[in-house]
Structure formats: C-alpha cells, structure tokens
Chains A and B, each alone.
Chain A
Amino acid sequence: MKYFIFIFFIVFTFTGCSQKLDVLPQESNKSTLIQESDVDEFDDEFEDENREVFDPLKGYNRWMTNTNDKIYIHLFNPVSEGYATVVPKTARIGLSNFFHNLKFPIRFSNNLLQLKFDASMKELGRFMINSTVGVLGFVDVAKMEGIEPQEEDFGQTLGHYGVGSGFHVVLPFLGPSNLRDTLGFGVDTWMDPITSGSLEYQAVENTTESLGIATAYYVNKNSLHPGEYENLKKDALDLYLFFRDTYEQQRAKEIEQ
C-alpha cells in the first residue's frame, strides 16, 4: 500500500514537471503540440492568413451572398424538398444522369482544349455508351464499368493556360464565382445543348424555355443534396468570406488536376 502511494506521488510530480516543459498543461499526454521550429514549416505550407484579397466588389458580393442565402433557405431548398417527396430518388438520379449526359459537349471540348486526349476519349466513350445502352443517358452505365466522368469547364481551361481568377464575383442564384469563371460559364452556356442558341444541336426554342430547363436542372440536382447547404453554412464565421475562400480553393484544385 505504501508503495502505491509512493508510486502515485512520483507519477504526479513527474507529470507536474513535464507540464512545466510543455506549453499546454492539460492532457499533454493525449496528443502532441508541435514545436516552435515546426510551426514555420506549417506556416509555409498554408497560405499567409493575413494576405489581403483584391475584392473590389466586396460590398455587392456580400449583399448578393445574403440575398442568395435567403433564396436558398426560403425558396430553393423548400421547393427541392417538396419535389423530392413527389419524385422518387431513382427517377431523380436518372434525370440528373440524363442532364449530365446532355452536357457532354462542354466536358469534351474543354478536355480537348486542354489537350487532355485521354480524358476526351473517356468522355466520348461515356457519351456513346450512356446514350445507347444507358437509355438516352438516364443510366450511367459507363460509371458502373469504371469509366468516370472527366469534369472540365471553360473556366478551368482558361486557368489551365495561366489565366488568373481575377476578382471574386457572386452571381445571382448561382453563387460564388470570379471574373474568369463567369466568362467561362458564359462560354459553356453558349455551347450547352440545353440552352437556346444558334448551334446545330441546340433544340431549345427560346430563353424562357432554357430558363425553365435550367430551373428543373438545378432543383433536381439540389434535391439530391438535401441539407448540404445548411450544413456547410455552420462552418462559416462570416458567410461571404467563407464561401469566397472555399470556392477559390476548390477551383484552384480543379484547375491543377
């Protein structure tokens, strides 16, 4: 018994000493605290947290972010939820596949423009398989066979050739974007089969029709991601800065790939 008291005494004093050495007294046995010398290494790895971002539209962007937020919470999400209760998930996934398959020209040409021939061929293969065996694209047969979609858009193509993102722009309804990606979105929309345009394969009659299709596209897509927006929002201390930062990080990564 005496021994045990002794042991405990030793252990306590010992931990007491090591606590002094450590910057953090509590739970120092549970995990580490990196050394001062390592901090610099980590600091180099992450972007300078105090770097000023060139954001001339900040005022408008903030306002648009809040407006979009209200639209998502009070209109877009409830509509998507209502739609999800009426249309079964399988049908919604089918429709999502169908739209995705139709947008093939965007992915194909942007892969080609970036000279990613392998990826372009994969996209072409996917389009041929899914449009036929996949019943007009409703079933993503190609993915089941392991041929994954090769997402590319014109914003990424521009980025690939070194075009900088320019300043941040929040688009109505669509959310975060920047100068480069807004231009890219314009070009992609121009060649998008489900918008009204002058291209041969564009069967959509007029702007009203293409807006209707776009709404269906986004509501259907959103219905497959319930709760995601609200969930993401919880991580934000400042909604606008959070979306701006995560968007730019994500795009930088997509362009790099």
Chain B
Amino acid sequence: MLKKTVLLTLLTMSTLLGISESNIKTEMTIKIDEITTVLQDKMLPVESKKEKIYSNIDGVFDYKTMSQISLGKKWKTLSDDEKNRFMTAFEGKLKASYFEKLELYTDQKVRVKELEKVKATRIQLHSDIIGVEETYEVIYKFFKVNNSSDWLIYDVEITGVSIIQTYRKQFAEFLKTKSFDELLASL
C-alpha cells in the first residue's frame, strides 16, 4: 500500500504533459476545436475564456524551453533566480499575446493540415486560419523531449514569422543597450 502510494505520487509529479507522436494531429485538432468553441461562446466572460484557453494549451506549450531559446547565449550567464523571473514574465507575455491574437479571429475557421517530420527530434504541424480575405498559415513546431516519447511545442510560426525568432532578435538588441532588469520590466 505504502509503496504503491509513493510510486503513484511520484509518477504524477514527474509526468510530462507532452503528446506522443502518433497523437499530435488528433490531440491538436481537439485542442484547436476547444479553443474555437471557447472563443465563440459569447456568454463567457473574458477572464474565464483566458483561464480555459490557458489550461488547454499549458500541457503542450513548453514555456521553459521557449524562454531559454529566446534568450540565446544570454541564458547561460543568468543566475537561477534571474532565469525564474524571466520565465514567469515571458510565459505571461506569450500567453497574453496569444490570447489577444485569438480574440481577433473569433469567426475564422481553422484547418489542421499535414504533420511534417523535419528530423528525428522535430515535428511541424501545419494549419491554416481561413480569414475573410487571406488564409494565414500557422505552423506549430514540436520537439521530442529527452529520454521520453513525448513532444512539446517550442515555437509557433505565423505566415512565416517565428515567434521565438522574433523575440530572440528583439531581446538581443534590447540587451545591447539596456540591462536585464529593464528587459524584465518591459515584459
């Protein structure tokens, strides 16, 4: 009994919430559908919409990895405390920005397209947002988590613009003239 409980507790605590390769397309389709439903629900207050959407994406978006890549070489020079503060701020920024973008496209349709395995540890899920005029291509980029069969999102590319690439460039430029604390404040 004791052994079992300990094991169970430990298991739940260390479980990664990624998706297995064969499920990426189906699970992402479900997630995108759920998000669309939440967004189109006119009765739901904005705060609950946010809450629902964030809990929907939290398991697949790897904010920590995103934070790390977005800071590039700077990351290694930071203290643990700085890393933590940055991750919290950046996660908040990414979520807020994602939600605001979604709000613009409430009546648009999303078409999930093909899965592309770029290499052994990278998969891209292609999708289209069909707008009133144009169609926007959105690519979700997954990486394979070390020593596991789970996949997590480390970047999203919208019409050719990579979110992480854009932040990476901006952060590096910012840090050329300003301090890390100023960067945190601006997020």
A residues engaging B (CB < 8 A)? Answer: 3, 6-7, 10-11, 14-15, 18, 23-26, 29-35, 38-39, 41-43, 45-50, 89, 93, 96, 100, 148, 221, 224, 227-228, 231, 234-238, 241-242, 245-246, 249-254
- Judge if B101 is at the interface, Cβ distance under 8 Å: yes
Q: Mark B1-29, 1 if CB is under 8 A from A, else 0.
A: 11001100110011111100000000000
Q: Complex formed: what's the CA distance from A227 to B100 in Å?
A: 10
A241, B169: Cβ atoms closer than 8 Å: yes
B170, A242: Cβ atoms closer than 8 Å: yes
Q: Which of A18, A89, A231, A250 contacts B101 (CB 8 A)?
A: A231
Question: Which A residue sits closest to B75, measured CB to CB?
Answer: A39
A32, B83: Cβ atoms closer than 8 Å: no
- Judge if B162 is at the interface, Cβ distance under 8 Å: yes
**Given pairs A32-B152, A49-B72, A245-B170, 8 additional interface contacts (CB within 8 A):** A24-B84, A32-B18, A34-B143, A39-B68, A42-B154, A245-B165, A250-B159, A250-B160
Main secondary structure of the interface of B (DSSP, over half): helix
17 pairs from A and B in contact (CB 8 Å cutoff):
A3-B1, A6-B2, A10-B6, A11-B6, A11-B9, A30-B17, A31-B17, A34-B64, A39-B68, A41-B121, A48-B72, A49-B169, A89-B132, A227-B104, A249-B166, A250-B161, A252-B160
Q: Complex formed: what's the CA distance from A191 to B87 in Å?
A: 50
Contacting residues, chain A, for B58 (C-beta < 8 A): 30
Known: A30-B17, A33-B65. Contact between A236 and B104, CB under 8 A?
Answer: no
Known: A96-B133, A235-B166. Contact between A253 and B17, CB under 8 A?
Answer: no
Contacting residues, chain A, for B72 (C-beta < 8 A): 43, 46, 48-50
B119 CB to closest chain A CB, in angstroms? Answer: 10
A239 CB to closest chain B CB, in angstroms? Answer: 10
Contacting residues, chain A, for B132 (C-beta < 8 A): 89, 93, 96, 224
Known: A26-B84, A34-B146. Contact between A237 and B68, CB under 8 A?
Answer: no
B64, A46: Cβ atoms closer than 8 Å: no
A31, B63: Cβ atoms closer than 8 Å: yes
Question: Which A residue sits closest to B78, measured CB to CB?
Answer: A23
Known: A31-B152, A231-B104, A253-B160. Contact between A236 and B170, CB under 8 A?
Answer: yes
Q: Complex formed: what's the CA distance from A257 to B152 in Å?
A: 26
- Judge if B114 is at the interface, Cβ distance under 8 Å: no
Q: Which of B2, B168, B172 contacts A3 (CB 8 A)?
A: B2
